[in-house]
Amino acid sequence: MTTRTTGAQRFVPPAGGLERLREAASDCEGCPLFQAAERTVFGAGDERSRVVVVGEQPGSVEDHEGRPYADEAGELLDGALEQAGIDPAQVYRTYAVKHYKFVRVGTTTHGASVGRRVRLKPSRGEREACRPWLLAELNTIDPELVICLGGTAAHSLLGAEFQVSAHRGVVHLLAAPELRRNLRVMVTMRPESVARLRESDRRDAFAEFLVDLRHAAEMLRHGTAA
């Protein structure tokens, strides 16, 4: 089994809308993650979406169902968007890495591990290999705002040195030669990390999450990064 990371760029079609990108991404072999994952989990939403939300990677539920944020974290995200004043129907959801990265732990049958799947954080190489898909989505949608959920998504767009804790909730201008125009990007926490907390801790974390999303909603209302 190869472990070579070649990058997704050669799989990205030069033209076409989201459906063309989605079809092409289903055959992507730009990094080794496709070998174990059930499917590519491409973005979902309207091509006219005002907001693009970028998560880290699909989880086990998304890998089974083939759509982003299909689990408890997705419900939490939708609830937070609504409370913040952002219509979830105007939000396109995607991931920085389109395949689920995991390790199996537990039961072994006939030499094969069939235990539960435990998420692993994507490497820098895997993140960079998948970046062409994310940039193609952004060029197609041309959103008013990109919201990165967590470090992997932030590093994919804003660079490996970006510190989420120091710049969370602040709107940055993203300029990249692959993009048609500069885009506004805000970084906040991962809803998955909020969903995993105990109820008492979850309330505080969710409140912080809402502060960032309300800032995003205010920016969208006024069309500024202030």
pLDDT in tens, 130-179: 999 999 999 999 999 999 999 999 999 999 999 998 999 999 999 999 99
Please state the pTM of the whole predicted model.
0.92
What is residue 223's predicted lDDT score, i.e. its pLDDT? 73
Give the three-class secondary structure for 214.
helix
Contacts for 223 with CB less than 8 Å, ≥ 6 apart: 144
The answer to whether 202 touches 195, Cβ cutoff 8 Å, is yes
The answer to whether 132 touches 12, Cβ cutoff 8 Å, is yes
Q: Flag whether pLDDT at 32 surpasses 70.
A: yes
Domains contained in the chain, CATH given = 9-222 (3.40.470.10)
Residues forming a β-bridge with 182: none
